[in-house]
Structure formats: structure tokens, C-alpha cells
Amino acid sequence: MIRGGCLCGGVRYEISGELSEICFCHCQMCRRIHGTPFGSYAAVRPEQRRYTSGEELIAEYPSSAGAVRTFCSRCGSKLAFENSQTPEEIWITAGTFDGDPGVRPGSHIFVGSKAPWYEITDDLKQSPEDS
């Protein structure tokens, strides 16, 4: 069981089963919403995630056509990214995990729009768009 939550502790969740992957997204929207050079996300099936508290605190922001980003309305912690084109997966923000999720990052996506001041120095797979 993987557990996690927001900064203020109001929203808590559990993920059952294993994560399929972790990726670093360098698109401009992820950079802006996180305030960092990239967002870190882990893919899960919707039925794997269960909120254990604070579901009423979750707010949604429709960042683009068919895409919704969720966050805690109290502390602003980014929680997930969902896309109607891929309803079989939810991308949980990896920084919200309490401990080791048991899987390591495997790729950088949307590197074609990465921050020009950031240099990728690892050997992970890089895709100009999403994988």
C-alpha cells in the first residue's frame, strides 16, 4: 500500500497495487503549476486510488481540453493529473507520497518544451512529446 497526501494533511489517499511508471514532465503547464523545471508523476489506474480523508478539500482546475489537475483547496498541493483521452490512468504527483513507492523514474516527457535554463543530466529516456 502506498500512502500520501497534501502539505497540510487535510487530503490523504492510499494506492493499492503497484505503480506502472514514474515520469518527469517538462511541458510548460507542469512547470507552471509546480513552479519547478518539471513535474513528477506516477501512473495508476483510477480504481487503485482511494481517498481516506479530505476529499471535500479537493479542487479541480481544467488546464486544457479534457485535462483536469486536482489540488488541495486549503494548502494548494498538487495531487493529480487526469485526461479524458486516457481514462484508464491517473497521474499522481510523486512528491505527495509518504515514502518509497517502490518504482523509479523511467523517462522525461515533453522535453521539447523544457525550461531552457534546465539541463537534463541523467540517462533516462527522453521524448519530445508524451511517451
CATH number at residue 38: 2.170.150.70
Question: Which contiguous run of DSSP H or E holds residue 34?
Answer: helix 28-34
Structural domain contains residue 38? yes
Residue 76, all three cell numbers:
494548494
What is the pLDDT tens value at each position of the chain, 131 positions in all? 999 999 999 999 999 988 888 999 999 999 999 999 999 999 999 999 999 999 999 999 998 888 999 999 999 999 999 998 888 999 999 999 999 999 999 999 999 999 999 999 999 999 998 65
pLDDT attached to residue 64: 86
Structural domain contains residue 129? no
Phi, psi of 74 (to 5 degrees): -90, -50
Q: 98 is in which domain, residue-wise?
A: 2-114
